[in-house]
Amino acid sequence: MATDKVSVEQRDRVTIRFAGDSGDGIQLTGSQFTHTSAIAGNDLATFPDFPAEIRAPAGTLAGVSGFQIHFASSSVFTHGDTPDVLVAMNPAALKANLSDLKRGGVLIVNTHPFNAKNLERAGFDGNPLEGDELSAYKVYPIDITTMTLNAIADVGLNQRSATRSKNFFALGLIYWLFNRDMVHTERWIEEKFQRRDPQVAEANRKALKAGYFFGETAGIFTHSYVVEAAEIPAGRYRNITGNEALGLGLMAAAELSGLELFLGSYPITPASDLLHFLSKQKHFGVKTYQAEDEIAAVCAALGASFAGGLGVTSTSGPGMALKAEAIGLAAMMELPMVICNIQRGGPSTGLPTKTEQSDLLQVLFGRNGECPLPVVAAQSPSDCFWTAIEATRIALRHMTPVLLLSDGYLANGAEPWLIPQMSTLAPIAKSFHKPQLNEAGEPIPFLPYERDENLGRPWAIPGTAGLEHRLGGLEKEHRTGNVSYDPDNHQFMVELRAEKVERITRFIPPLEISGAQSGEALFVSWGGTFGSVRAATNNLNLQGREVGHIHLRHINPLPLGLEEALSSYDRVIVPELNMGQLNMILRARFLIDTIPLTKVKGKPFQVSELEAFFERVTTPVSPEKLINQGAQS
């Protein structure tokens, strides 16, 4: 039997990319493989890459949808630099993804759509399956479409519907290749389709099995692979995307503080999924409000905060620009609020579905007047949960709007998450101000801009008799909150509001440095680049290089001790998916000659890029080279 010849190979880690037309069910295939791998105990990370157009013309490069999963028997920090396996469902998918495939990697191609028309659409001169163009890879040309149609012929679907099951054939084949259990996907098909359309359920089930059995019996594969379970902390896990984690984190923060959650939002990629997620949670008392525009959305959140709720607004870069004036008002009114910016490629409409970290300076400085505000950033999909809680904690403790940064990569990427227990999370203190009486039992006049030790002011909500007061965007007189044009008062209040933000440092946990505590170089990163930078640091440490890594959750204010840490290394490298924004801040703040590593390609850093950059900046330049350079200039 053919199966006897297949040898099973152990691998520590594997990266697979599924790619096809946006109508080919690629995201679904990827998420099913992810779920099955998670249940098998792998550590993993995923990244979907879909086109900006909802229905780009079939067969074109613009319409290619991809899903990448990196799974391993040890720690996973990123979705993987270069795939070991590429599944290409049509010529365009092959064209768009081939250059990423590792040399010697496995290439599974659905040959069915490789006709003259589709090849031309994808920009191929001839058929790449026929020449030696693909000789660097292990190519498996399989007519997945025809085999799917044959396998499900007796289900009775028309050809068009039947063709749709081909992604399950591909999934079944990959399950076989990695010795995976099909049962979870079979259960999922049952739940998803059985009641709605039993025929489709039957077709998908049959296609899945046909793909699996094809791998087993066709005899074209010489190897199958096993990736053992990783050692990860015990407990109950689920897969979570960044936007889901953010939604759950905001709900958890509302519960921990005893506040009602109110989200004012306007649809925008890649933040809309947060609005969708929270809109489904009405039975938890969550109020979501889809406003007429970005400005109305942030204003509604501010109104809810004034009224005593946890006001939240969510957006991406372009919406952030529109909200700026209202965020300034929130800073002036000193009301607690969380503003989530799920960053995408810019400027202007930019790259809506691609990731970037280019809004850092916008959230730090993009308001009129002197208006510093706290900024926190999430580092991984599941970390969005913890970042939402931290943002809320700061907002309520210091009575301030807080800017929370995520990005398209975190929002749509997924990872397994050890489910937290609410009972173990520290409550978030909130207090609605009560009228105060003096010793004689008479009411003390209410001072809305009186300060506590954190410089927060009282939160006096409508409905509280005796605390009627007025807030607004005009400069406030210290303590009374009355409108004031006094020059000295303005100077004082500007400094006070800055100091209030600065005092948050008292609550930021001590700085953590991963890897070497001093030496050749320090990576300083923030946001969604955490995984790549941490993986590169670990790799370099294993090679004996003295490199450390600081990942900043708090970007304003910066944690104490950062300056000292920066000066403990020969050089500081600041990798960012922008043109050097944190780098600019660090240079300005600490007068240290940090080295920017920048990239704006709409894609996350590859670990290898970071390692290569480290090599380049740490390799001493020879005297000859310097002399040559001097001669040339």
* Total residue length of the chain: 633
Give me 488's structure tokens.
């000295």
Q: Cis peptide leading into 435, omega within 30 of 0?
A: no
Please, which residue, 33 or 289, has the CB nearer to another protein?
289
Phi, psi of 202 (to 5 degrees): -60, -45
Round to whole Å and give the CA distance between 556 and 287.
29
Find the shortest distance in angstroms from Cβ 76 to another protein.
14
Give me 418's structure tokens.
């050890």
> What is each CA distance from 22 to 27, 67, 481, in whole angstroms?
9, 11, 56
Contact set for another protein, span 403-422 (CB under 8 A): 419-422
Please, which residue, 264 or 548, has the CB nearer to another protein?
264
3-state secondary structure of 434: coil
Round to whole Å and give the CA distance between 120 and 366.
46
597 near 573, Cβ under 8 Å?
yes
Binding another protein (rule: CB under 8 A), the pick from 101, 201, 246, 296 is: 296
Please, which residue, 142 or 227, has the CB nearer to another protein?
227
Q: Within 10 Å of residue 342's Cβ, how many Cβ atoms?
A: 33
Give me 112's structure tokens.
């069915």
Give me 9's structure tokens.
């190979």
Is residue 297 a contact point for another protein (CB under 8 A)? Answer: yes
Is residue 444 a contact point for another protein (CB under 8 A)? Answer: no
Find the shortest distance in angstroms from Cβ 199 to another protein.
25
67 near 48, Cβ under 8 Å?
yes
Please, which residue, 55 or 470, has the CB nearer to another protein?
470
Please, which residue, 164 or 478, has the CB nearer to another protein?
478
402 near 395, Cβ under 8 Å?
yes
Round to whole Å and give the CA distance between 605 and 598.
9
Binding another protein (rule: CB under 8 A), the pick from 50, 137, 213, 237 is: 237
Round to whole Å and give the CA distance between 470 and 484.
13
Find the shortest distance in angstroms from Cβ 292 to another protein.
4
Is residue 485 a contact point for another protein (CB under 8 A)? Answer: no
Give the gyration radius of the chain's Cα atoms. 28
Binding another protein (rule: CB under 8 A), the pick from 233, 510, 544, 630 is: 233
Q: Which stretch binds another protein (CB under 8 A): 143-151, 275-283, 343-351, 513-521?
A: 275-283
Contact set for another protein, span 167-226 (CB under 8 A): none
Is residue 461 a contact point for another protein (CB under 8 A)? Answer: yes
Is residue 482 a contact point for another protein (CB under 8 A)? Answer: yes
Is residue 285 a contact point for another protein (CB under 8 A)? Answer: yes
Q: Which stretch binds another protein (CB under 8 A): 98-106, 145-153, 306-314, 344-352?
A: 306-314
Please, which residue, 471 or 496, has the CB nearer to another protein?
471
Find the shortest distance in angstroms from Cβ 461 to another protein.
6
Please, which residue, 214 or 277, has the CB nearer to another protein?
277
Who's near 182: CB < 8 A, 6+ residues apart? 36, 172, 175, 208, 209, 212
Please, which residue, 446 or 526, has the CB nearer to another protein?
446
Who's near 304: CB < 8 A, 6+ residues apart? 260, 262, 264, 287, 310, 311
The amino acid that residue 185 corresponds to is: T
Binding another protein (rule: CB under 8 A), the pick from 292, 439, 442, 593 is: 292
Give me 454's structure tokens.
């954190």
Concatenated DSSP letters of 370-386: S----EEE--STTHHHH
Find the shortest distance in angstroms from Cβ 258 to another protein.
7
Please, which residue, 292 or 442, has the CB nearer to another protein?
292
Round to whole Å and give the CA distance between 21 and 61.
9
Binding another protein (rule: CB under 8 A), the pick from 51, 141, 473, 519 is: 473
Binding another protein (rule: CB under 8 A), the pick from 5, 223, 282, 479 is: 282
Contact set for another protein, span 106-125 (CB under 8 A): none
Please, which residue, 178 or 446, has the CB nearer to another protein?
446
Is residue 304 a contact point for another protein (CB under 8 A)? Answer: yes
Is residue 478 a contact point for another protein (CB under 8 A)? Answer: no
Q: Which stretch binds another protein (CB under 8 A): 84-92, 152-160, 201-209, 290-298?
A: 290-298
- 26: number of CA atoms within 13 Å, CB side? 28
Find the shortest distance in angstroms from Cβ 486 to another protein.
15
Is residue 236 a contact point for another protein (CB under 8 A)? Answer: yes
State the binding string over 32-51 for another protein (x if CB under 8 A, else -).
---x--xx-x----------
331 near 290, Cβ under 8 Å?
no
Binding another protein (rule: CB under 8 A), the pick from 47, 212, 306, 523 is: 306
Please, which residue, 22 or 382, has the CB nearer to another protein?
382
Give the interface size with another protein as a residue count (CB under 8 A). 75
Round to whole Å and give the CA distance between 267 and 409.
18
Find the shortest distance in angstroms from Cβ 241 to another protein.
12
Please, which residue, 92 or 299, has the CB nearer to another protein?
299
Per-residue burial over 262-290, b if 16 or more Cβ lie within 10 Å, else e, is bbbbbebbbbbbbbebbbebeeeebbbbe
Is residue 154 a contact point for another protein (CB under 8 A)? Answer: no
Find the shortest distance in angstroms from Cβ 281 to another protein.
7
